[in-house]
Structure 1
Amino acid sequence: MDHVLTLIAAPGGLSTASLHAARDALARIGATTGTPDWLAPEQAADLPFAGLAADQADAAARHALTGQPVDIIAQAAAGRRKRLLIADMDSTIVTTETLDELAGQAGIKERIAAITKRAMNGELDFEGALRERVGMLKGLPVEAMQRTWEETELMPGATQLVATMRAAGARCALVSGGFTFFTGRVAALVGFHEHHSNTLLEADGRLTGDVADPILGRNAKLATLKRLAAEEGIGLEATLAVGDGANDLDMIQAAGLGVAYRAKPVVAAAARARVEHGDLSALLFAQGYRNTEFVAD
């Protein structure tokens, strides 16, 4: 079978009936299906198939499982395990938008979060929106960044994702439109090989309201994906990119496996693969890893 459909749910959330419904949906539109392979009992399973394009299988399975909390990823069976991971940070590897949380230290979280929401859904220019939000933080003591960091939580599955891919020989990079103060700490905690982001400028113990040039935005994320792939001597088909905002969309669309993770509507609609129910371990199941192969840290 030259393609595989992966069904992923929360632990205990994937039934045999759902798997059979997806298989029958593919068969009805002309696919030949193979024997299902459980990657994790009642959580993730592969369904090999042939005779359909991935997007056709994806659409048929989604229609069959409408309303069920199951993520569906259809792709070519060959080359599933990727050799480069590029991940966004805010609302992807960590559960929050760190800039919004930092704004909370200044008492203006709602004002800045409203701008963030529009920028992440592609309604505002990323660079302009970033400069506007950072400008509103002028004068904030730098200690506020440490307080924000202490309240920041990792997304479930983040450590497993990076540790497992590293153990398999993949290069793992954190590429964020956020700030080095946070990406450096997240990268060290989670185990990324490297991190790339923006730098908040400070003077006399306070934020100046400026961000260093050049700003790492949508184009720079795509450029970083291409550069790191070239450094590894691999094609983009051997890469995985994951993120949730509009500034992630170019790298998501360019990667061999590009995943919109609990993403903004404009991103979810444009990405070839999306995860809306599972945690970040879904990206391992999508690559054909069994839960028994996961590395905890």
Structure 2
Amino acid sequence: MLAITLVSPDPAALATAIAAVRAAVAVTAETPLGEGAVDLAADLPLAEAHAAVKAAIGDAPADFAVQPAEGRRKRLLIADMDSTIIGCECLDELADFAGVKAQVSEITERAMRGELLFEGALRERVGMLEGLSTDALQACYDDRVKLNPGAATLVRTMAAHGARCALVSGGFTFFTSRVAEAAGFHVNRANTLIEAGGKLTGRVGDPILGKEAKLAALQEETAALGLTPADALAVGDGANDLAMIEAAGLGVAYRAKPIVAAQAHAKVDHADLTALLYFQGYKASEFAS
């Protein structure tokens, strides 16, 4: 049995999507999950159902996931930070304090689209920050870093129901440690900016945490819990998130680059991050405040 979850911030769009899916797929049950979300049940092959739902929804502002109903409530959340759990790219914003945001942002965009190798792109961007006062780190966090809507609810709800929550970023520990605490993650992994004399040296510590390290984090976290990657939900937006998204039992592309959206099991382009709870069958009444 499959669970087809539809989520939209627009009630009219959700109603239209539900009607379109009902017309395209033999729905056997319907369960409201909360305002803006519903589960439909169907007994079809997964690929056939996914294709039918995608075609039925079309360009409507609704997000969906199609997956086996059994085992969809995951026991590990592994999430990217920049432009996923938070609404900015910390390195780009930090570069603004150094007066090089335009140059750094252009490289970031190309790297997240998969046009540049992540490690080299990271070293190049960090090199542009040489000499920047370390005071800018806290100023950047205070002024620019905000949790995306639904982020804390996602993390705290999964944690309250026994899941382990890991924040894994190609960014920097200065930011991940603070974001992890704010959102409720159990653990965070990221890169380290090297400092000397109260200034950034323009270098990043080795080894660099990128695409393969994120996949390794997923594998290590699941193994430590006696689980498999099928028990994990991974979410991210950039090319360096793709390996963990593809390996997870449920891999979600959040406001993602095309290369990621094309390969993920599901994508969220319209709703907030609580869509990931609905995708797992949580009802709004189960959300942690």
TM-score range, shorter chain: over 0.9
| 1:13 CA displacement | 4.9
1:17-58 CA deviation, whole Å, 9 max, x = no partner?
42121121123xxxxx212111013x00011001222x3222
Aligned-partner residue type, residue 196 of structure 1: R
Letter in structure 1 aligned against 2:63: D
Q: Write the mapping of 1:93-172 to structure 2, written as runs, cut at 5 A.
A: 93-151=85-143, 152-172=145-165
Task: Indicate conservation of the 8 Å contact 2:7/2:14, yes or no.
Answer: no
2:247 and 2:77 mapped to 1: Cα distance? 13
User: Which residue identity does 2:201 align to in structure 1?
Assistant: T
Q: Secondary structure, in 3 states, of the residue corresponding to 2:262?
A: helix
d(CA) in 2 for partners of 1:263, 1:158? 16
What residue number does 1:4 align with? 3
Partners of 2:228 and 2:150 in 1: how far apart?
26
Whether the aligned pair in 2 keeps the contact of 1:58 and 1:72 (CA below 8 Å) is no
Tell me the distance in 1 between the aligned counterparts of 2:253 and 2:234.
9
Q: Give the match's secondary structure for 2:166.
A: strand
User: Scaled by the length of structure 1, what TM-score is found?
Assistant: 0.95
The answer on whether the counterparts of 1:13 and 1:69 sit within 8 Å (CA) in structure 2 is: no
Superposed CA offset, 1:85-132 (max 9, x none): 100000000000000000000111111000000000100000000000
Look up the equivalent residue of 1:158 and give its one-letter code.
Answer: A
Match of 1:229 among 222, 228, 248: 222
Distance 1:56 1:142 in 2: 53
**Aligned residue number for residue 176 of structure 1:** 169
1:160 counterpart SS class: helix
Supply the distance in 1 between the matched residues of 2:14 and 2:214 (Cα, whole angstroms).
38
Greater CA deviation, 124-133 or 147-156?
147-156
Normalised TM-score (structure 2): 0.97
Give the Cα separation in 2 of the matches to 1:154 and 1:11: 22
1:187 corresponds to which of 180, 184, 201: 180
Change (3 A) 1:250 1:15: closer
Aligned to 1:65: 57
CA distance in 2, matches of 1:66, 1:281: 22
Aligned CA RMSD, in angstroms, stands at: 1.0
> Structure 1, residues 223-263: CA drift from partner, whole Å, max 9, x if none?
01000000000111110100000000000000001101110
Q: Secondary structure at the residue paired with 1:79?
A: coil
Size of the aligned set, in residue pairs, is: 288
Q: Post-superposition, which runs of at least 4 consecutive aligned residues in structure 1 deviate over 2 A? A: 11-18
Residue 148 of structure 1 aligns with an amino acid whose one-letter code is: C
Distance 2:95 2:11 in 1: 38
In 1, the alpha carbon distance for the partners of 2:225 and 2:43 equals: 31
User: Which residue matches 1:90?
Assistant: 82
1:269 is the counterpart of 2:268: no
Paired position in structure 1 for 2:17: 18
Q: Name the residue aligned to 2:30.
A: 36
Verify: 1:196 aligned to 2:189, yes or no.
yes
Stretches of structure 2 lacking an aligned partner (at least 5 in a row) = none
Tell me what 1:30 maps to.
Answer: none
8 Å CA contact retained: 2:156, 2:288: yes
| Number of the residue aligned with 1:244 | 237
Unaligned runs of 5+ in 1: 28-32
1:217 aligns with 2:217: no
Is the Cα–Cα contact under 8 Å of residues 246 and 264 in structure 1 kept in the other structure? yes
